[in-house]
Structure 1
Amino acid sequence: MELLEQVPRGLRSRLLRRHRQGPLVWCVRGLYSCRWGQMYSTCREPGARTCNKVEMFFSTLLVVTFCISLIFLYFWGQAKNDYDDFDWFTFEALGFWFRWSVVLLVVTSMFFSYVALLTLLLLCLLSQRQRISLHWTHKVGVGVVLFFSVVAISVLSGLWSGEWSTLLLSFQVTAPYLHVGGVLLMTALAWPVAALTFQTTGAGRRALIGGPFLLLLSVLYLVPLGLYSPCIKDRTSLGPPPALIGHRGAPMLAPENTLMSFEKAVQCGCVGLETDVTLSVDGVPFLMHDFTLLRTTNVQQLFPERSRSPAAMFTWTQLQTLNAGAWFLSSDPFRTVGSLAEDERVRAQNQSVCSLLDFLQLAARSGSLVIFDLYRPPKGHPYRDTWLQRTLDVLLNQSTILSSQVLWLPSHLRSLVQEMDPDLQQTSGSRLPLEELQRNNIVKLNLHYRDVSPQLVREHAALNVSVNLYVVSEPWLYSVAWCSGVQSVTSNAPHRLNSMTRPLLLMSPDEFSLMWSLTDLTSLILLLLICSFHWWREQALALSSGPQTPLDTQIYGRFRTELSEVWSVSTVSSHIETATSVCPLTPGCAPPSPRPSGLELSLM
C-alpha cells in the first residue's frame, strides 16, 4: 500500500471518479442511444471526435427542434386568454364543440418535455466526452416534434396571426422574470459547456463552442437596458383597477347569453353587461352570438332539418322551445361546471334563449351598463332593412332602462340614433382620429386588448374618452390593462379578476434595477468559478497523465479501457502487495513482472 500512496493523487482521484460516475454515464448513454452495454467506460481522448458528420447533423437538429418547440410552447401558453375563440373557430370548421385548445397545449407540453430531455442528455454526454449516437427511434421522434411545431406555428400564424401581438404584449409583464430565468438557465448550462470547451483541443474549436454561449449570455445580461413594462412603476402612481363588464354574462359560471349568466356577472361585481343581439323572423330581438343555434341550444334534436339555418330565420315561439343551458353542462367549455352547486346545475340545465327586453330589464334593476353588438339579419329576412328601428323601439319604448346606461356601439346610422336619443353613450369599436371622436360625441372606445397602449389611454383620457378592452380573462393581461390606466375591460372571468387587489408582478423601478443587477452579478461570479474549476481540472488531469509520472505506465497501464473495461482499485492493491512480498522496496531490487491476463494479451 505504500507504493500505491506514491501514485499521483490527481490520477488516483481521476480513476476513482470515473468508477463512481460509471452508472450515471451508462444510464445517460443508454437513454440517448438505447445501447445498454458495459456500465463503465472512459472518456474520449482530448481532441478526439465524439461523433461523425451524420450524428453532428442530428445533434444540431435536436437543438433547433428544442428552440422551436420552446417558442411554440410559450406562444400557446400565453394564448390561453383566447382559447375560447380558438375552440369556437374549430367548432365552426368541424361542426362539434371540443376543447381542442387544451389538447394542443397538452401535446405541445409533452413534445417539448421529450426534446428537452434529449437535449439535456446530449449536453451530459458531450461534457463527459462520450461518443454521441442518437438512436433511430429518437431521430424519428425529433423529426415528428419538429414537423408538428413548424406546421402548428405556420397554421396558427396564418389563421390567428394576431396572437403574435399577444406574445409580445406578454413580455411587458413576464420579461423581467424571463430574464432572471434565462440567466439562471444559461448559468446552469455553463457547467457542461465549460467542461466540453476545456476538454477540446485547439483554440479555434474552443472558440466555436464557448463563443456563441458567451455571446448569448452577454445579450441576456444587457436585455433589461431596453426592456419596457407598464407594471414597472411606483405604487403611488397606480390608478384604480379597471371596471369589469361581463362578456355574455359570466360564461364560466353559467350558459352564455342567458339570464342566469348575467345575474352571475352582477353578483361578481360587474358594472356592465355585454351581449350580442339579432332579430327573429317575426321581429323579436334576442341574444345569440353564433350565426346558427347549433352550439348553444338543442336545435339538432327539435329541428334537425334546420340545425344549420341562421338563428334569425326562426320565430320567437320556436326559439322559446329551445333549451339554451344543457350544452353548458355536457361540454363544460371552461372546465368550471364542477365548481357549481347542485341547485346551480339544475338551474343552468333549464335556461332558455333570452330576449333583448328581458336582458334590458335585468340591467335596469341592477343599474348595470349594457353594450351589445347588433347583427343585421340575412337576406330574405322581413326586417333586414328595419332591424335598427326595431331594436331601438324595444330599447327606448318597451324597456325601463335609462338611456345613460346604454353604451351604443353600432356605427350604422349613428347620427340618426343620436337625434332619437342624445343620452345614449356613443361608443366606437375602432380607433378614430381624435377630431372625429369629438365630432361624433364618442365618449368611449371599445377596442381589442392588442390595440391599446398607455400613451393612447392618456391621449383619450385628456378628451374625456374612456377605453374599454375586450376580451380580458387572464390575470396577467388584466394587470397590463390596470398598469396602463385602462378604465374598463370585458371579461369571461369576472369572478377571478374581481378578487385581485393589485396587479401581478408590479414592482418599482428601483426594485427592478436591483433584481436584474444582482442576477447578472451572481451569474457572472458563478460563471467565472465554473470556468476556473474546469480549467484547473483539465490542467491537473493533463499533468497527472504526463510522461513525468512513470508509475502511471508501470502500474496503471492495465486501466486502459478502450473497450469500456475498468479495473477496480482493490485489484491494483493486490498486485502491489504481491510485488512487495516478493521483493521489498530496497535499492537495486525490482519486482517481477506480473503475469498478463487474457484481456491484456488481447489488447496487446
Structure 2
Amino acid sequence: MLKPNKIDSERKKKGKKKKINSWIAHLFDRRRYITFLTGCYSCRWKFRKWEKTKLGSCCCTRTEQVFCAFLTISFVMSVIWLFVWLEISNEYFGFDWVVFLGTGFWFFWSIVFLSLSGILTAYSSLLLLLAFLLLWEQMELYLHWCHKILILLVILLCSFFFFLVFRFWKDKWLTAGLSLQIFAPYLHMGFITVMVLLSWPVAFYVARLEREVRIRRYKTTCYEKEKLKKCNIFTRLRALQLATGLPFLLILACLYLIPLGIYSPCIQEKEDLGPKPVFFGHRGAPMLGPENTMMSFEKAVEQEAYGLESDVFLSYDGVPFLMHDYDVRRTTNIREVLPKAAFNHSSSFKWNFLATLNAGEWFVQPWRKPFYDMKTLSEADKKKARNQSIPKLYELLQFAQKKKKFVIFDLNGCPPKHPFRNAFVRQTVKVILDSKIEQHLIFWLSGHDRAYVRHKAPGFQQVGRLYSVERLTKENISIINVDYKRLFFSGLRHYKAANITINLYIVNEPWLFSLAWCSRINSVTTDNISLLRRLNHPHYFMTPRDYMLIWLLTDGVSAVFIIAVFYFHWWREMKKEKALETSSLPTDCESISLPEEEGESHETVGLSVNPGRTAERPWTLAALHPALAKGGKKHEGTSHFVVASMKSPNHVQKTVTPLMATKHDVKPTVPTQTLEHTQAPTAETTKVALPQMTSPTLKEADAPAMPSVVVHHPEKQTQETPMAQSSKETFLTI
C-alpha cells in the first residue's frame, strides 16, 4: 500500500497539473489553432476532424509533394534576392537614374523593388512556416490553388529579377559578393543560431522515429508471419532518420569549419589599421544641396571634404559647365522653358541659354528628391536651393582655389558636328589655366590627349583608371580612380605593393566605407559625406584573437546546447517508450504483468490471454475479487489460480489435488481423486495457456498466504467433462 504522505503528494501534483492544463486550455484553444493553420494554408476555415498522419507515412499526395518542393524553392530564391537587393543599397541612386532615363519619370523604384522583395520573402516564409506547423501537428498538407499560383508567380518573378541583373547589371553581383567579406563572420554566427533553433524539431523528429522503430519492433517479435511483411517500415523509418539527421549534422559541421576559409579585411590587428580615407564630394554634397551647383560644393566644404568631384560638358560656344546627364531635363526646368528641346544633348545649347535655367527647384520638390533617406532641408536651404543655376567650371575652380580643395572631374566628349568635338580637351585646359588655380590641386582624369596636357600643364596630377601596374608605371601615373566593385576583385594587393594611390567611387554605405578603411584605401568619392565623416572607427572591425574567441565560443556553446537538446528528446522518448511498455494492455503477443504493492513479495506470472477478453484496466487482486484478498473464500464453479513464486528452482509435476473442506462449507467433505491431465488445456476450453509445470499436493496448513486469483470461464461451464461435473469443488492449484 502507498503511504499517506505519498498519496497526498501525488494528489497535490495532479491538482497542479489540472490547474496548469486548465490555464493552458484557457489561453490556447487547439481547435481554433488548427482551424487557423488549415484556413491560412488550405483556405478551409471550418473545423473538421482531420486524421493524423502516421509517423513514417507520407504527409500528402504526389501533387502536394511537388508544390511543397516549389514552396521551398520560392523561399530560397526570394531570400537570396532580398539579400542581394539589400546589399546593393549603395547603388539605389544609380538604379533610379537608369529607370528615369528609360521612363522619363523620377521615382524611388529601388525602394519599390525592396518592398516587393520583402513581400515575396515574407509570403513564402509564412507559407513554409504554416506547412511546418501542420506537419508538427501530423496534419495532411493541402495547399490551396491560390497559393499554388502565387508560389509559381514568386518563382517566376525572382527568376526574372535574376535574369535582369545577370543581363544588364552584372557588376552588382560583385557588390553582393563583396559584402560577404564584411558580414561573413556575423552571418556565420547567425547561421549557427538558426541551426540551434532547428535542432529542437530535428531532435524531436529523430527521437520520435527511433521510438517508433523500437515499439514496432517490440510488437512484431511475436508475429513471425507479419514480421516479413512489415520489415519495409523499418527501412522507411531509418531512411527518414538518416534523411533528417545526416544533412543537419553535415551542415552544422560545415558551419563549424567555415571560419577556416573566411577572409575579411576588417579582421586584423589594431596597429595594422590604416588611416581613415579622405572624401571627395561626389557632385558636391548631393544630399544637402542640388548636385553640381555651387550650393552643393559649399555644403561639401562645410563637411570637411578633401576634394570636389564633378562632371564637365562644353557648351556649343565652348564654355565648360557642370552637368552629369547627357540632357538637362532631370536637374533643370527645361521642360517648362523649352519642352521641345528637353531631350537634346547637354552640349547642344549655348551658354547664354543654359545660364537662364533653374538648377535647384527640382531638389526642393518632395517627389523628386534624389535620395530616399536624405534629411529635410531647412527653410533657408530651400530658399537658397530654389535660386541655384548651372555653374561654369571656372566658378568651381575659383572656389576650390579659395578653399584649397582638390578638384577631380569627368570630362565628357562633344557630340558630332559640335565645334569643339576635337578640341574639347585643349579648351578645358585653357579655362583651367586661366582660372589661376594651383596646378597640383587638379586631378586630371581624362585619358584623351594626355600628352598635350602633360606638356601644357605639367603640375596636374595625372589619374588613371583600372590599368595594369605595368601600364601605370610606363605612363608615370601614381593615382587611380576606380569603381569599388572591380578593384577588390582585380588585384588590390598589386596596386598597394606598387605604392599606387587609390580613390574609390561611389561609396555611400558605412559598411562599404569600413571595408575601404580596413583595406587601406586612400580616398573615396561619396554622396553621403555627412554620415561617413562621423565614423571614427570602421564598423565590424575585430582582431584575429577576438574573432577566434567568438568563433570557438559560438561553436562550443551551440554544440553543447544541440547535444543537450538531442539528449533531452532522446531521453524523453525513451521514457515514453518504457512507460508505454509497462502500462500497455496485454495483447496476444504481450505478457500480463501483475504490479506489486508495497509490503507484498509476490512475483508476476506471464499469462497469454486473448485480446478480445482483455480488461481495460490493469489486473489487481482486489479488483478481481475483493473477498479473496481478505479471507480467501472458495466458491463452487470457479477455478482458482494461485500465483506461486517464480524463484523456486524445483520442478513439480502437474497434478490436480482436492482441497480439504472447512467448517464454513455446507456440504460434508467428499474426497476427490487426483486428476492427471495428459495434455495442457486448449484455448477453446479455458482461454488460458498454462505453463508446463506441476504442483505438489498442498495441505490446508501449508496453503500459501497469498490469496488465489479467481477467473470465471463461461465457456468451461458448457464444455465440462464428466469428471469435472462430478467434482464442483475441485481447484486447480499451481
Taking structure 1 as the reference length, what is the TM-score of the superposition?
0.86
Which secondary structure does the structure 1 equivalent of 2:88 belong to? Answer: helix
Task: Report the equivalent of 2:521.
Answer: 486
Over residues 354-407 of structure 1, what are the superposed CA-to-partner deviations in whole Å (9 max), with x where a residue is unaligned? 11101111111111101111111100111111111111110012x121100000
Are residue 451 (structure 1) and residue 478 (structure 2) matched? no
Task: Report the equivalent of 1:106.
Answer: 115
Q: Could you tell me how far apart the structure 2 residues matched to 1:384 and 1:112 are? A: 51
Matches within 5 A, 1:403-442: 403-434=439-470, 436-442=471-477
Matches within 5 A, 1:54-203: 54-200=63-209, 202-203=237-238
Task: Report the equivalent of 1:282.
Answer: 317
Task: Report the equivalent of 1:378.
Answer: 415
Q: Could you tell me how far apart the structure 1 residues matched to 2:356 and 2:255 are? A: 61
My pick for the range that moved more, 197-206 or 447-456, is: 447-456
Structure of higher RCO (CA pairs closer than 8 Å, 6+ residues apart): 1
Deviation at 1:536, TM superposition (A): 2.9
Q: Could you tell me how far apart the structure 2 residues matched to 1:125 and 1:225 are? A: 39
Deviation at 1:33, TM superposition (A): 2.3
Task: Report the equivalent of 2:716.
Answer: none
Deviation at 1:493, TM superposition (A): 0.5
Task: Report the equivalent of 2:569.
Answer: 534
Deviation at 1:458, TM superposition (A): 5.2
Which secondary structure does the structure 2 equivalent of 1:395 belong to? Answer: helix
My pick for the range that moved more, 31-40 or 519-528, is: 31-40
Which secondary structure does the structure 2 equivalent of 1:193 belong to? Answer: helix
Deviation at 1:548, TM superposition (A): 4.8
My pick for the range that moved more, 41-50 or 217-226, is: 41-50
Task: Report the equivalent of 1:293.
Answer: 328
Matched-pair contact (CA < 8 Å) for 2:466–2:480:
yes
Which secondary structure does the structure 1 equivalent of 2:547 belong to? Answer: helix
Deviation at 1:549, TM superposition (A): 2.0
In structure 2, do the counterparts of structure 1 residues 540 and 59 end up closer, same or farther at CA, with 3 Å as the change threshold? farther
Over residues 561-595 of structure 1, what are the superposed CA-to-partner deviations in whole Å (9 max), with x where a residue is unaligned? xxxxxxxxxxxxxxxxxx99xxx9644279xxxxx
Task: Report the equivalent of 2:295.
Answer: 260
Over residues 140-198 of structure 1, what are the superposed CA-to-partner deviations in whole Å (9 max), with x where a residue is unaligned? 22222221111111111211111111111101110000000111012112222333333
Q: Could you tell me how far apart the structure 2 residues matched to 1:123 and 1:192 are? A: 10
Are residue 465 (structure 1) and residue 500 (structure 2) matched? yes
Give the partner amino acid of 2:407. V
Task: Report the equivalent of 1:361.
Answer: 398
Task: Report the equivalent of 2:349.
Answer: 314
Over residues 66-119 of structure 1, what are the superposed CA-to-partner deviations in whole Å (9 max), with x where a residue is unaligned? 111111101000000011111111111111211101110011011111111222
Deviation at 1:532, TM superposition (A): 2.1
Over residues 483-512 of structure 1, what are the superposed CA-to-partner deviations in whole Å (9 max), with x where a residue is unaligned? 000000000111110000000000000111
Which secondary structure does the structure 2 equivalent of 1:308 belong to? Answer: coil
Q: Could you tell me how far apart the structure 1 residues matched to 2:375 and 2:274 are? A: 35
Which secondary structure does the structure 1 equivalent of 2:328 belong to? Answer: coil
**Pick from 506, 511, 514: which aligns with 1:476?**
511
In structure 2, do the counterparts of structure 1 residues 214 and 126 end up closer, same or farther at CA, with 3 Å as the change threshold? farther
**Pick from 246, 250, 255: which aligns with 1:220?**
255
CA RMSD of aligned residues (A): 2.9
Which secondary structure does the structure 1 equivalent of 2:55 belong to? Answer: coil
In structure 2, do the counterparts of structure 1 residues 58 and 189 end up closer, same or farther at CA, with 3 Å as the change threshold? same
Give the partner amino acid of 1:127. W
Matched-pair contact (CA < 8 Å) for 2:444–2:461:
yes
Are residue 48 (structure 1) and residue 48 (structure 2) matched? no
Deviation at 1:240, TM superposition (A): 0.7
**Pick from 367, 382, 390: which aligns with 1:345?**
382
Q: Could you tell me how far apart the structure 1 residues matched to 2:456 and 2:436 are? A: 16
Larger helix proportion of the pair: 1
Task: Report the equivalent of 1:602.
Answer: none
Q: Could you tell me how far apart the structure 1 residues matched to 2:458 and 2:497 are? A: 22
Give the partner amino acid of 2:185. P
In structure 2, do the counterparts of structure 1 residues 449 and 501 end up closer, same or farther at CA, with 3 Å as the change threshold? same
Task: Report the equivalent of 1:236.
Answer: 271
Deviation at 1:305, TM superposition (A): 0.8
In structure 2, do the counterparts of structure 1 residues 128 and 218 end up closer, same or farther at CA, with 3 Å as the change threshold? farther
Task: Report the equivalent of 1:567.
Answer: none
My pick for the range that moved more, 48-57 or 64-73, is: 48-57
Q: Could you tell me how far apart the structure 2 residues matched to 1:312 and 1:454 are? A: 36
Deviation at 1:551, TM superposition (A): 9.6
Matched-pair contact (CA < 8 Å) for 1:239–1:485:
yes
Q: Could you tell me how far apart the structure 2 residues matched to 1:530 and 1:104 are? A: 40
In structure 2, do the counterparts of structure 1 residues 56 and 515 end up closer, same or farther at CA, with 3 Å as the change threshold? same
Give the partner amino acid of 2:347. A
Q: Could you tell me how far apart the structure 2 residues matched to 1:317 and 1:77 are? A: 44
Deviation at 1:223, TM superposition (A): 0.9
Which secondary structure does the structure 2 equivalent of 1:339 belong to? Answer: coil
My pick for the range that moved more, 213-222 or 232-241, is: 213-222
My pick for the range that moved more, 365-374 or 324-333, is: 324-333
Task: Report the equivalent of 2:369.
Answer: 332
In structure 2, do the counterparts of structure 1 residues 543 and 55 end up closer, same or farther at CA, with 3 Å as the change threshold? farther
Matched-pair contact (CA < 8 Å) for 1:127–1:195:
no
Q: Could you tell me how far apart the structure 1 residues matched to 2:575 and 2:43 are? A: 33
Q: Could you tell me how far apart the structure 1 residues matched to 2:138 and 2:574 are? A: 16
Over residues 124-144 of structure 1, what are the superposed CA-to-partner deviations in whole Å (9 max), with x where a residue is unaligned? 222332222222222222222
Over residues 328-366 of structure 1, what are the superposed CA-to-partner deviations in whole Å (9 max), with x where a residue is unaligned? 222011135652111001111221111110111111111
Over residues 250-286 of structure 1, what are the superposed CA-to-partner deviations in whole Å (9 max), with x where a residue is unaligned? 1111111110111111111111111110100111100
Matched-pair contact (CA < 8 Å) for 1:111–1:145:
yes
Matched-pair contact (CA < 8 Å) for 2:469–2:495:
no
Q: Could you tell me how far apart the structure 1 residues matched to 2:498 and 2:576 are? A: 74
Matched-pair contact (CA < 8 Å) for 1:467–1:486:
yes
My pick for the range that moved more, 126-135 or 413-422, is: 126-135
Q: Could you tell me how far apart the structure 2 residues matched to 1:388 and 1:311 are? A: 17
Q: Could you tell me how far apart the structure 1 residues matched to 2:265 and 2:493 are? A: 13
Matched-pair contact (CA < 8 Å) for 1:123–1:193:
no
My pick for the range that moved more, 412-421 or 471-480, is: 412-421
Matched-pair contact (CA < 8 Å) for 1:123–1:192:
no
Over residues 430-457 of structure 1, what are the superposed CA-to-partner deviations in whole Å (9 max), with x where a residue is unaligned? 22233x3233221210011022249955
Q: Which has the larger radius of gyration?
A: 2
Which secondary structure does the structure 1 equivalent of 2:252 belong to? Answer: helix
Which secondary structure does the structure 2 equivalent of 1:401 belong to? Answer: coil
Give the partner amino acid of 2:460. L
Q: Could you tell me how far apart the structure 2 residues matched to 1:199 and 1:144 are? A: 37
My pick for the range that moved more, 109-118 or 188-197, is: 188-197
Give the partner amino acid of 1:232. I
In structure 2, do the counterparts of structure 1 residues 295 and 191 end up closer, same or farther at CA, with 3 Å as the change threshold? same
Matched-pair contact (CA < 8 Å) for 2:287–2:375:
no
Matched-pair contact (CA < 8 Å) for 1:246–1:265:
yes
In structure 2, do the counterparts of structure 1 residues 56 and 541 end up closer, same or farther at CA, with 3 Å as the change threshold? farther
Give the partner amino acid of 2:103. L
Question: Percent same amino acid among aligned pairs?
Answer: 38
Task: Report the equivalent of 1:512.
Answer: 547
Matched-pair contact (CA < 8 Å) for 2:408–2:442:
yes
Which secondary structure does the structure 1 equivalent of 2:536 belong to? Answer: coil
In structure 2, do the counterparts of structure 1 residues 345 and 585 end up closer, same or farther at CA, with 3 Å as the change threshold? farther
My pick for the range that moved more, 154-163 or 132-141, is: 132-141
In structure 2, do the counterparts of structure 1 residues 454 and 504 end up closer, same or farther at CA, with 3 Å as the change threshold? farther
Matched-pair contact (CA < 8 Å) for 1:129–1:196:
no
Q: Could you tell me how far apart the structure 1 residues matched to 2:284 and 2:37 are? A: 54
Any unmatched runs of 5+ in structure 2? Answer: 1-6, 214-236, 588-615, 628-734
My pick for the range that moved more, 296-305 or 124-133, is: 124-133
